[in-house]
Amino acid sequence: LGALGAGGTELTLELPDSAQRCFHQELESGVKFTLDYQVISGGHYDVDCYVEDPNGKTIYQETKKQYDSFSHHTEAKGVYTFCFSNEFSTFSHKIVYFDFQVGDEPPILPDMNNRVTALTQLESACVTIHEMLKAVIDSQTHYRLREAQDRSRAEELNGRVSYWSVGETLILFVVSIGQVMLLKSFFTEKRPSSGGAGT
């Protein structure tokens, strides 16, 4: 993912069947990171996920989850690895969205954490607006992912209905031809064989 510092990244990745994708991030000790992920399309909308610290110890592991969130304060400096696995699926192609955030958000006001006096009315209003905007952004991301998931399901259902309609049309066509041939055989005139005996 490269050097994030205090910040994060959002990615949407394709996860083929029986495949695994891993990402690596070098982090300092005592840093908080958060991993949010959600399966947008494919199969039963589930995926395996695990996170390892630089010593190879698994600090998070979940199987067949549709979505989840994981936060952790690093205890050692080094490269942290998080992987998404679709190895349990033999034919379902998945699309996974994840948001990886590193560090705490910087304060919106200078020296906000070191102040001994109360915030002014204007500063309090700024903090409240900032928190509301963060909630709006999170809601927009959630609804955007839900919309993408619902669109994928609708397209899948549309494909199934189309195939079912084509199949029904072919069956009706075959049955109609069979009925016509059967009725025609009932009314076909059978001529007796002309083998008269001569005297």
Q: Say how far apart CA 39 and CA 89 lie, in whole Å.
A: 14
Q: Which residues of 90-110 are buried (b: 16+ CB within 10 A; e: fewer)?
A: eebebbbbbbbbbbeeeeeee
Amino acid at 117: T
| CATH class of the structural domain 1-106 | mainly beta
Are the beta carbons of 104 and 4 closer than 8 angstroms?
Answer: no
pLDDT in tens, 120-157: 787 778 878 888 888 888 888 888 888 888 888 888 88
pLDDT in tens, 51-83: 999 999 999 999 999 889 999 999 999 999 999
* 3-class secondary structure, 58: strand
pLDDT, residue 52, reads 94
Average pLDDT score over residue span 82-91 = 90
pLDDT, residue 27, reads 92
pLDDT at 193 over 90: no
Domain borders along the chain are: 1-106, 119-187
pLDDT in tens, 153-180: 888 889 999 999 999 999 999 999 999 9
pLDDT at 2 over 60: no
pLDDT, residue 197, reads 52
Percent helix, strand and coil across the chain, each rounded to 5?
Answer: 35, 35, 35
| pLDDT bucket at 3, cuts 50 / 70 / 90 | very low
Gyration radius from the chain CA atoms = 32
pLDDT in tens, 22-42: 999 999 999 999 999 999 888
Instruction: Read off the pTM.
Output: 0.66
